[in-house]
């Protein structure tokens, strides 16, 4: 009985986290994403299809941030092939970890489809935003813009 009671509670908590993020820390996502999610509806009662469209757009936005920072780092380090090789190795390892973790979460993450979607989508969004922030930090630390 407790197991069945926990599923709606987890679903509401995940939906709230997916839609709103942590209000105590700044959101790593775009303002457009926050507005899109707000239009999808209130936490726990939102339109999953609309939220999914928001996720797709935000994934594109975060990937663009990653690619922009990555390409600027390559240009900045054009005279340092060893640093470029380390960057490429790190990026390949990160992509493999991200994709395998996402696959695990989306395929074997549980039996409730909505919770699995929310958890796996949240992971993908967060990992992309974190990587974009990391690359932009590397760029900034090396005198790039």
Q: What is the pLDDT of residues 39-90, one digit of tens each?
A: 988 877 778 888 889 999 999 999 999 999 999 999 999 999 999 999 999 9
- Average pLDDT over the chain, rounded to an integer: 82
Mean pLDDT of 4-29: 51
Please say if the pLDDT value at position 8 is more than 80: no
**Predicted local distance difference test score (pLDDT) of residue 80:** 97
Match 């989306």 to its residue by tokens: 106
Q: Is 87 exposed, middle or buried (0-12, 13-18, 19+ CB in 10 A)?
A: middle
Please say if the pLDDT value at position 103 is more than 80: yes
Per-residue pLDDT tens digits for 12-21: 344 444 544 4
pTM: 0.77
Distance between CA 43 and CA 124 in Å, rounded? 19
* 133, 68 contact by CB (below 8 A): no
Among residues 22, 60, 65, 58, the alpha carbon closest in space to that of 40 is found at 58
Distance between CA 85 and CA 88 in Å, rounded? 5
Measure Cα distances from 91 to 87, 122, 133, 136 in Å: 6, 20, 13, 14
């Amino acid at each position: 009985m407790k197991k069945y009671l926990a599923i709606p509670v987890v679903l509401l908590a995940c939906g709230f986290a997916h839609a709103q993020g942590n209000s105590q820390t700044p959101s790593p996502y775009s303002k457009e994403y926050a507005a899109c999610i707000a239009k999808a509806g209130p936490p726990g009662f939102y339109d999953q299809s609309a939220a999914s469209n928001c996720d797709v757009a935000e994934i594109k936005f975060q990937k663009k941030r990653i690619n922009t920072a990555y390409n600027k780092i390559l240009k900045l380090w054009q005279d340092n092939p060893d640093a470029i090789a380390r960057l490429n190795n790190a990026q390949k390892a990160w992509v493999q970890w991200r994709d395998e973790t996402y696959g695990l979460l989306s395929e074997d993450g549980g039996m409730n489809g909505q919770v699995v979607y929310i958890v796996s989508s949240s992971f993908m969004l967060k990992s992309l935003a974190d990587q974009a922030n990391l690359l932009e930090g590397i760029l900034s630390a090396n005198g790039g813009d």
